[in-house]
Chain A
Amino acid sequence: GAGVSQSPSNKVTEKGKDVELRCDPISGHTALYWYRQSLGQGLEFLIYFQGNSAPDKSGLPSDRFSAERTGGSVSTLTIQRTQQEDSAVYLCASSLTVRGSSGGDTQYFGPGTRLTVL
């Protein structure tokens, strides 16, 4: 596609429910990132995919968070048993970066999913 797309754009859920957030990266981009951003705050790194594998899951805040990527394309971030502190904008980004490349890593961001946990 022309850009990174994310769905849904907004999600309101009740505490304790599970949610799935979807990211469609730019076609051909090998690297995919998930970030979380609370209101007025910076970007909190969650997880990074190179192809279908996730070499770095260090940012996942708890075992309630998981992510997968299939076919080197679409990724899903799942949050189980949501808590109010999970409320934030979840941003996905993709880049052309090749595994092991020491070059630049220009990331193209999607519009984000605003998650509200009541």
Chain B
Amino acid sequence: GQSLEQPSEVTAVEGAIVQINCTYQTSGFYGLSWYQQHDGGAPTFLSYNALDGLEETGRFSSFLSRSDSYGYLLLQELQMKDSASYFCAVRGVYTGGFKTIFGAGTRLFVKA
């Protein structure tokens, strides 16, 4: 089967660094993605890892270890506007072909 696990909530203070972990189980693996969703808004794409290692995009970085079926999203210099839900998503092989499965999301609260 396929599944993703990520923490339901994380709280951090403004200016700090926070790491949101994601472990996955999938049939075949073709990449781990991260999406951000603000309250009342639609999810927006943040990053994608197909190979092991760290991908950096400004204040956000994403890491993948395929051997551990594990990845994380790292947010640096936290700002109040980073308060949102963050979803990891895995692309794998399922009935009908390739499909992307989303985790349940991690709600990040940034405090002043």
Contact = CB atoms under 8 A, between A and B. Distances in A.
Interface of A: 33, 35, 40-43, 45, 48, 50, 55-56, 58, 91, 93, 97, 99-112
B91 A42 contact: no
Given A104-B91, A107-B89, 6 more contacts: A41-B105, A43-B105, A103-B31, A104-B31, A105-B30, A109-B42
Contacts of B105: 41-43
A90 B99 CA distance: 18
- Chain A facing B: main interface SS: loop
Nearest to A110: B42
Contacts of B100: 33, 105, 107
Interface of B: 30-31, 33, 35, 41-45, 48, 50, 87, 89, 91, 94-105, 107
Contact of B98 (A35, A102, A108): A102
Contacts of A93: 43
A101 B91 CA distance: 11
A48 B94 CA distance: 12
Contacts of A41: 104-105
B4 to A, nearest CB: 9
Given A106-B33, A108-B45, A56 B50 contact: no
Contact of B97 (A33, A43, A99): A99
A105 B33 contact: yes
A106 B48 contact: yes
A48 B99 contact: yes
A58 B95 contact: yes
B50 A104 contact: yes
6 contacts: A48-B96, A48-B99, A56-B95, A93-B43, A106-B33, A111-B41
